[in-house]
Chain A
Amino acid sequence: MAASASFMATANPLQSANPLNCFSPLQRPPQYRGNSSSKRQVCVRASGSEEEGKVIIRREKSGWKIDFSKEKPQTPLLDTINYPNHMKNLSAQDLEQLAAELRAEIVYTVAKTGGHLSASLGVVELSVALHHVFSTPDDRIIWDVGHQAYPHKILTGRRSRMHTIRQTSGLAGFPKRDESIHDAFGAGHSSTSISAGLGMAVARDLLGKSNHVISVIGDGAMTAGQAYEAMNNSGYLDSNLIIILNDNKQVSLPTATLDGPATPVGALSSALTRLQASTKFRMLREAAKSITKQIGGQTHEVAAKVDEYARGMISASGSSLFEELGLYYIGPVDGHNIEDLTTIFKKVKAMPAPGPVLIHIVTEKGKGYPPAEAAPDKMHGVVKFEPKTGKQFKSKSPTLSYTQYFAESLIAEAERDNKIVAIHAAMGGGTGLNFFQKKFPDRCFDVGIAEQHAVTFAAGLATEGLKPFCAIYSSFLQRGYDQVVHDVDLQKLPVRFALDRAGLVGADGPTHCGAFDIAYMACLPNMVVMAPSDEAELMNMVATAAAIDDRPSCFRFPRGNGVGATVPPNNKGTPLAIGKGRILMEGSRVAILGFGSIVQNCIGASTLLKEQGINVTLADARFCKPLDFDLIRRLAREHEILVTVEEGSIGGFGSHVSHLLSLDGLLDGNLKLRAMVLPDRYIDHGSPQDQIEEAGLSSRHIAATVLSLLGMPKEAFQFK
Chain B
Amino acid sequence: MALSLKFGIPPNPNLTCKRNYRPLVRCMAIASPKISKLSSYYDTLSLKSSEKLGMEDIKKAYRTMALRYHPDVCDPSMRLECTRKFVELNKAYRALSDSKLGEMYDLDMAVMDGFDEEENMRRVWTAQIVGLERRSKDRAARRNARNRGQGMPHS
Contact = CB atoms under 8 A, between A and B. Distances in A.
Interface of A: 279-284, 286, 288-290, 292, 295, 298-299, 301-302, 305-306, 309-310, 313-314, 328-334, 340, 344, 347-348, 351-355, 357
Contacts of B1: 281
B128 A332 contact: no
Interface stretch (B3-11, B35-43, B60-68): B3-11
A331 B126 CA distance: 9
Interface stretch (B44-52, B73-81, B85-93, B134-142): B134-142
Q: How large is the interface on B (under 10, 10 to 19, 20 to 34, 35 or more residues)?
A: 35 or more
B128 A279 contact: no
A493 B2 CA distance: 51
Contact of A329 (B7, B128, B137): B128
Given A302-B10, A352-B136, A331 B125 contact: yes
16 contacts: A283-B113, A283-B120, A283-B123, A286-B127, A298-B14, A298-B15, A299-B10, A309-B25, A332-B124, A334-B121, A344-B129, A352-B136, A352-B137, A353-B139, A354-B135, A357-B132
Contacts of A283: 109, 113, 120, 123-124
Contacts of B140: 352-353
Given A306-B7, A334-B118, A355-B139, A298 B12 contact: yes
Contact of B132 (A284, A306, A309, A354): A354
Nearest to A288: B5
B120 A348 contact: no
B150 to A, nearest CB: 19
Contacts of A309: 25, 27
Given A288-B7, A314-B3, A328-B135, 12 more contacts: A279-B124, A281-B1, A283-B120, A309-B27, A310-B5, A313-B29, A328-B132, A329-B128, A331-B128, A333-B125, A334-B118, A357-B132
A314 B6 CA distance: 12
B121 A332 contact: yes
Contact of B3 (A281, A354, A355): A281
Contacts of B129: 330, 344, 347-348
A284 B3 contact: yes
A351 B121 contact: no
A331 B10 CA distance: 32
B127 A290 contact: yes
A329 B124 CA distance: 11
A648 to B, nearest CB: 50
B133 interface: yes
A282 B132 CA distance: 16
Nearest to A281: B3
Nearest to B26: A309
A302 B25 CA distance: 9
Nearest to A357: B132
A310 B135 CA distance: 17
B136 A330 contact: no
- Secondary structure of the B contact surface, majority rule: helix
Nearest to A352: B140
B120 A279 contact: yes
Contacts of B120: 279-280, 283
Given A306-B25, A348-B129, A351-B132, A314 B121 contact: no
B15 to A, nearest CB: 7
A277 B133 CA distance: 25
Contact of A289 (B8, B15, B29, B131): B131
A104 to B, nearest CB: 26
Contacts of A310: 5
Contacts of B117: 279
A279 B121 CA distance: 6
B9 A347 contact: no
Given A306-B7, A329-B128, A348-B129, A280 B121 contact: no
Contacts of A348: 129, 132
Given A286-B127, A351-B136, A355-B139, A302 B7 contact: yes
Contacts of A355: 135-136, 139
B143 to A, nearest CB: 6
Which are the 8 A-B pairs with shortest beta-carbon distances?
A351-B136, A286-B127, A353-B139, A352-B140, A353-B140, A354-B136, A279-B120, A282-B124
A348 B125 CA distance: 12
A357 B129 CA distance: 10
B122 interface: yes
A300 to B, nearest CB: 9
A295 B12 CA distance: 13
Contact of B127 (A289, A295, A299, A333): A289
A312 B92 CA distance: 31
B33 interface: no
Nearest to A359: B125
Of the listed residues B127, B128, B131, the one surrounded by the most CB atoms of chain A closer than 10 A to its CB is B128
